[in-house]
Amino acid sequence: MGKNATRLELLGEVDVAYAALDAKNYAKRIGFTAKDQYLISTAVSELARNIVTYASKGCIFLSTIEQDFKKGIEVVADDSGPGIQDLEKAMLDNFSSRGTLGVGLPGTKRLMDDFQISSSSAKGTRITVRKWL
């Protein structure tokens, strides 16, 4: 995680909307275009909604990252929920365990530049995504 991460706590549906808005403003401050702000905000909204839906609660951390003269945003979505049983399946378009569209995770991967996921029933789920300016 980048240093000085901003921590957003997710306890319910209303926090999903706040997280999306906070992410948009954070991306704007880093210098992302209006279009990228929107894409980042959408990705955060999907990750936040999954946390509230499947793990009840968790956190999202926003931080600014730098690498090889590049600058970007890192979003870490962290929960101590039940974990994702089958990661490969969860990353397929239209796979959903609750009968919705099932594009949240694959869509988020497409919106961002880097996507990493680690999940287990013991530790819960941590998804790290990054987008570069």
Ligand X SMILES: Nc1ncnc2c1ncn2[C@@H]1O[C@H](COP(=O)(O)OP(=O)(O)OP(=O)(O)O)[C@@H](O)[C@H]1O
The footprint of ligand X (CB under 6 A) covers 46, 50-51, 54-55, 79, 81-84, 90, 95-98, 100-105, 125
From the list ligand X, Mg ion, none, pick the one residue 54 interacts with, judged by a Cβ distance below 5 to 8 Å according to partner type.
ligand X
CA distance 82 to 85: 8
When asked if residue 50 is in the footprint of Mg ion (CB under 5 A), the reply is: yes
Taking the complex as a whole, the smallest distance from the CB of residue 77 to ligand X amounts, in Å, to 7
> Based on CB atoms, which residue is closest to ligand X, 15 or 46?
46
Cβ count within 10 A of residue 48: 26
Closest CA to 78 of 52, 58, 50, 105: 58
From the list Mg ion, ligand X, none, pick the one residue 115 interacts with, judged by a Cβ distance below 5 to 8 Å according to partner type.
none
> Based on CB atoms, which residue is closest to ligand X, 69 or 99?
99
| Whether 72 contacts 2, CB under 8 Å | no
Taking the complex as a whole, the smallest distance from the CB of residue 42 to ligand X amounts, in Å, to 11
Which among 31-39, 74-82, 103-111, 112-120 is the span making contact with Mg ion, rule CB under 5 A?
103-111
- The residues facing 76 across adjacent strands are 61, 128
From the list ligand X, Mg ion, none, pick the one residue 72 interacts with, judged by a Cβ distance below 5 to 8 Å according to partner type.
none
DSSP character string of 83-113: --S-HHHHTSTT--SSSS---HHHHHHHHSS
CA distance 107 to 46: 9
Catalog residues that contact Mg ion under the rule CB under 5 A. 50, 104
